[in-house]
Structure 1
Amino acid sequence: MKFFDAKDIDELQKIYKINLINSCSGFKSANLLGSISNEGIMNVAVFSSVTHLGSNPPTLGFILRPTTVPRDTYKNIKETGIFTINHIWEDIIEDAHHTSAKYPEEVSEFEMTGLEPEFKGNFKAPFVKNAPVQMSMKFIEEIYVPSNDVLLIVAEIQELFVKNELLEEDGFINLAKGKVATINGLDGYSIPNLKNRFSYQRPKVNPKKS
């Protein structure tokens, strides 16, 4: 087994270190965040840091790298207070990844890819059409993390759209049925299969498959 101590990691070549540390935490969520500026310019960008924070209220969070360079998603969220989260699925992986390219603020990634915007009801931020899971989000707060100079953005789910075939009777969303992607590191995409679900665990009780 390859071993790295703190000194080894600190002295690694930049790109090697970025790849190593971004992939050592395991598979991450793969989402497209849709937003819109006050001027009506749509933005869509891939994020691998969206995570569950709580169910009551239903909140999710994601990490933003330092805002010392332009971050259109962040700017739009702060201007409008809203955005969407859309799960990436197998058919759009290449286009989804391309949204990480740094286009000028006035250029919409929807125009530079095969991704299509979709609007639902009165919500002003764009969803990604045909995404198996879509969420409209309301910005709640940002928390600065000084050790890495990053922001944790906290938002509350306002609306949740799930394709019928993914939703099971107990509320579980079977993402494997929608061929939803995960991200390994910065640029590795996988389509996982669901192997097992287990019952609620109690001490000294053998796990039961559901």
Structure 2
Amino acid sequence: MMYTKEAIENMDRITRLKLFNAISGIKSANLIGTIGTNGTTNLAIFNSVVHIGSDPALVGFISRPQTSEVGHTLRNIQENGHYTINHVHPEFIKNAHYTSAKFEAHLSEFKQCKLTEEYTKGFQAPFVKESTFKMGVLFKEAIEIKLNGTFLVIGEIDHVMLPKNSFVDDDINLELTKSVGVSGLNTYYSLKKLEKHPFVRIHEVPKFLE
């Protein structure tokens, strides 16, 4: 199958949405936890969390255009400066998925989707208790992407909690953490470790052409 630019432009909105949310392949499924100035917590599923840098330890995610109905996550982050990123595991995929519903601002997705708030001393945002792999993140900046009105939200990792024995030989085994991948908006995958290769140095590159 091949789609030209003209065919893409003529697609109905839902078909285009599903195609281009899945086209980049399997991504990590994460729940981002925040709390507003009024004390109401918020939880939303994201498939766009990416590594930005290691020193300092930075992560980013894409926030949709802000409206009065959506955008509670970014507003809370900008107001509070703290947020959490929590891996999704098979036991609560369904609960995590339904946090994407457009709940009213005064309702907490934690309660509506039966997930549990968890707090760490000195960190002002809720973690997901059911998640065994989670990060506390400090907000650094939100860069507007003018092409579509979204924002790249960048934060510095302040806390990391992960399953015992999952960090082995300087490598996180995501199969052992039972972290879940997502394709598009609503299809979830388990992760299986296939191969591991050494850090690449030019003199160690295999001679593929021989």
Corresponding residue for 1:10?
9
Matched, 1:110 2:86: no
Corresponding residue for 2:121?
121
CA–CA distance in structure 2, aligned partners of residues 175 and 121 of structure 1: 27
CA–CA distance in structure 1, aligned partners of residues 129 and 165 of structure 2: 17
Shift of residue 202, structure 1, vs aligned partner: 3.0
CA–CA distance in structure 1, aligned partners of residues 58 and 206 of structure 2: 32
- TM-score, normalised to structure 2, is 0.94
* Structure 2 runs not aligned, ≥5 long: none
The one-letter code of the counterpart of 1:186 is L
Shift of residue 148, structure 1, vs aligned partner: 1.5
Could you report, residue by residue, the CA deviation over 1:53-100 in whole angstroms, capped at 9, with x for unpaired residues?
000000000001110343111111111011000000111100000000
CA–CA distance in structure 2, aligned partners of residues 183 and 117 of structure 1: 23
CA–CA distance in structure 1, aligned partners of residues 120 and 143 of structure 2: 29
Shift of residue 169, structure 1, vs aligned partner: 3.0
Shift of residue 14, structure 1, vs aligned partner: 1.1
The one-letter code of the counterpart of 2:40 is I
The one-letter code of the counterpart of 1:148 is N
Could you report, residue by residue, the CA deviation over 1:110-144 in whole angstroms, capped at 9, with x for unpaired residues?
11122111111121200000312111111001111
Q: Is the 8 A contact 2:115 2:129 kept in 1?
A: yes
Shift of residue 187, structure 1, vs aligned partner: 0.6
Corresponding residue for 1:141?
141
In the TM superposition, what are the counterparts of 1:1-210 in structure 2 within 5 Å? 2-69=1-68, 70-170=70-170, 172-203=171-202, 205-206=205-206
SS at match of 1:73: helix
CA–CA distance in structure 1, aligned partners of residues 87 and 59 of structure 2: 14
CA–CA distance in structure 2, aligned partners of residues 97 and 74 of structure 1: 19
SS at match of 2:172: coil
Shift of residue 8, structure 1, vs aligned partner: 0.8
Shift of residue 201, structure 1, vs aligned partner: 2.0
* Structure 1 runs not aligned, ≥5 long: none
The one-letter code of the counterpart of 2:64 is R
SS at match of 2:156: strand
SS at match of 2:136: strand
- TM-score, normalised to structure 1, is 0.94
Q: Is the 8 A contact 2:140 2:155 kept in 1?
A: yes
SS at match of 1:165: coil
* Runs of 4+ deviating beyond 4 Å: none
Shift of residue 206, structure 1, vs aligned partner: 2.5
SS at match of 2:18: helix
Q: Give the root-mean-square deviation of aligned CA atoms.
A: 1.3
Task: Count residues with an aligned counterpart.
Answer: 205
Shift of residue 168, structure 1, vs aligned partner: 0.9
CA–CA distance in structure 2, aligned partners of residues 64 and 113 of structure 1: 21
The one-letter code of the counterpart of 1:131 is S
